[in-house]
């Protein structure tokens, strides 16, 4: 039996309580029958729903969904006197994401009057970036691991390359923290991270080729070729499937037969010419990781890997609810959003 951290039973109990009330698993069905943003708002925030115009409500709801997920994740991490490094670094994904959002404002407008800062999640004592200094990127990242961004911006480095560097740092931090775990605990977390990084590479390759018209050589440079503490299960690089995909035409479905993640590609339709749909693949990849973490959540109760899976589940729920909000704002009903996301109610 694995040794149990003294704070783990309380943290695990809190996590189970939060999951039981989350819009995951069987509770996904609670999202059925929704027709408006106001209905979703009242469902998720029964004590704090807002009466706002459509677009304003969408932005406000998206911000509250992020804040809700962060609060629930923080509640688990703060249940520890000294939280596992893996969990703290998972929380940091919000800081990385908020920093990327700020860069998308700062870089195009560096010679223009500053725009309003994007929404920033409150990570409490775990935050490192000084977002109050926005849009002064130098002051924002001074003394943090992100100082390299200042010189990259001055050198004219493409924003997609900066984002790739940030992703690399985030995942390397997660992988380094696996060293704290027991072998059995590490196996569970590593399997999720291996598949997530592998799929992230594929999504990024599709997006760079489809949306930014990057060449295969340019795309290859931005993939995460990361080494795991234990040899990856298939014995190959976590970038291998994405690198292989660079040789396949984006508009010929037959070329993808036998590719590792072929089952996650959008299906052919008789009424339209087929081409890779990055958004569809991203949704399918998210579903795959969600089901993997749901199966793994209770494998080792009161372990760090269980709470690692808890955080992944909460982040999936946040993404799902945000997608629902966006779909409802476009006039879709819940059945149409479920179909679009390939989620099962």
pLDDT tens for the 345 residues of the chain, in order: 445 567 888 999 999 999 999 999 888 889 988 899 999 999 999 998 888 887 899 999 999 999 999 999 999 999 999 999 999 999 999 999 999 999 999 988 666 666 789 999 999 999 999 999 999 999 999 999 999 999 999 999 999 899 989 999 999 999 999 999 999 999 999 999 999 999 999 999 999 999 989 999 999 988 988 877 666 665 568 999 999 999 999 999 999 999 999 999 999 988 888 999 999 999 999 999 999 999 999 899 899 999 999 999 999 999 999 999 999 999 998 888 888 776 444
pLDDT of residue 272: 85
> Is the Cβ–Cβ distance between 286 and 316 less than 8 Å?
yes
| Distant-in-sequence, close-in-space partners of 344: CB < 8 Å, separation ≥ 6 | 28, 338
Q: What span, in angstroms and rounded, lies between the C-alpha atoms of 328 and 334?
A: 7
> Is the Cβ–Cβ distance between 309 and 188 less than 8 Å?
yes
Instruction: Quote the pTM value.
Output: 0.89
Q: How many residues does the chain have?
A: 345
Based on the number of CB atoms within 10 Å of its own CB, is 132 exposed (0-12), middle (13-18) or buried (19 or more)?
exposed
Q: What span, in angstroms and rounded, lies between the C-alpha atoms of 191 and 186?
A: 8
End-to-end, the C-alpha distance of the chain in Å comes to 36
Task: Output the six-digit token pair for 145.
Answer: 């691991």
Chain segment 54-111, per-residue pLDDT in tens = 789 999 999 999 999 999 999 999 999 999 999 999 999 999 999 999 999 998 866 6
Other Cβ atoms within 10 Å of 267 Cβ, number: 9
> Nearest 5 degrees, angle CA 245-CA 221-CA 214?
65
> Is the Cβ–Cβ distance between 206 and 281 less than 8 Å?
yes
Q: What span, in angstroms and rounded, lies between the C-alpha atoms of 106 and 113?
A: 10
pLDDT of residue 45: 95
pLDDT of residue 51: 84
Q: What span, in angstroms and rounded, lies between the C-alpha atoms of 325 and 328?
A: 5
Q: What span, in angstroms and rounded, lies between the C-alpha atoms of 142 and 156?
A: 19
> Is the Cβ–Cβ distance between 179 and 229 less than 8 Å?
yes
Based on the number of CB atoms within 10 Å of its own CB, is 154 exposed (0-12), middle (13-18) or buried (19 or more)?
exposed
Q: What span, in angstroms and rounded, lies between the C-alpha atoms of 3 and 177?
A: 17
> Nearest 5 degrees, angle CA 80-CA 308-CA 27?
105
Q: Which residues pair with 269 in a beta bridge?
A: 272
Phi, then psi, of 269 in degrees rounded to 5: -125, 135
């Amino acid at each position: 039996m694995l040794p149990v951290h003294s704070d783990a039973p309380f943290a695990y109990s809190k996590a189970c309580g939060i999951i039981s009330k989350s819009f995951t698993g069987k509770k996904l069905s609670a999202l059925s029958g929704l027709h408006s943003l106001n209905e979703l708002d009242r469902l998720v925030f029964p004590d704090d729903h807002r009466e706002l115009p459509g677009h304003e409500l969408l932005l406000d709801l998206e911000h509250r969904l992020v804040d809700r997920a962060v609060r629930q994740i923080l509640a688990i991490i703060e249940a520890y006197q000294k939280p596992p490094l893996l969990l703290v670094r998972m929380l940091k994904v919000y800081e990385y994401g908020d920093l990327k959002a700020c860069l998308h404002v700062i870089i195009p407008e560096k010679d223009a009057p500053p725009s309003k800062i994007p929404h920033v999640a409150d990570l409490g004592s775990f935050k490192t970036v000084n977002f109050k200094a926005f849009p002064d990127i130098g002051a924002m990242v001074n003394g943090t691991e992100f100082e390299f961004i200042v010189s990259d911006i001055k050198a004219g480095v493409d924003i997609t390359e900066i984002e790739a560097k940030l992703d690399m740092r985030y995942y390397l931090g997660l992988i380094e923290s696996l060293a704290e775990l027991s072998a059995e605990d590490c196996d569970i977390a590593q399997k999720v991270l291996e598949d997530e990084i592998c799929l992230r590479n594929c999504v990024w390759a599709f997006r760079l080729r489809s949306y930014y018209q990057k060449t295969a050589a340019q795309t290859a440079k931005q993939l995460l070729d990361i080494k795991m503490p234990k040899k990856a299960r298939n014995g190959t690089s976590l970038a291998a499937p994405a690198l292989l995909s660079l040789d396949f035409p984006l508009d010929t479905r037959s070329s993808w037969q036998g590719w590792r993640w072929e089952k996650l590609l959008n299906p052919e339709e008789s009424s339209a010419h087929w081409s890779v749909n990055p958004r569809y693949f991203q949704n399918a990849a998210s579903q795959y990781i969600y089901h993997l973490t749901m199966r793994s959540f209770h494998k080792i109760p009161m372990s760090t890997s269980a709470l690692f899976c808890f955080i992944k589940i909460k982040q999936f729920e946040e993404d799902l609810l945000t997608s629902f909000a966006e779909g409802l704002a476009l006039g879709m009903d819940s059945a149409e959003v479920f179909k679009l996301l390939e989620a099962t109610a």
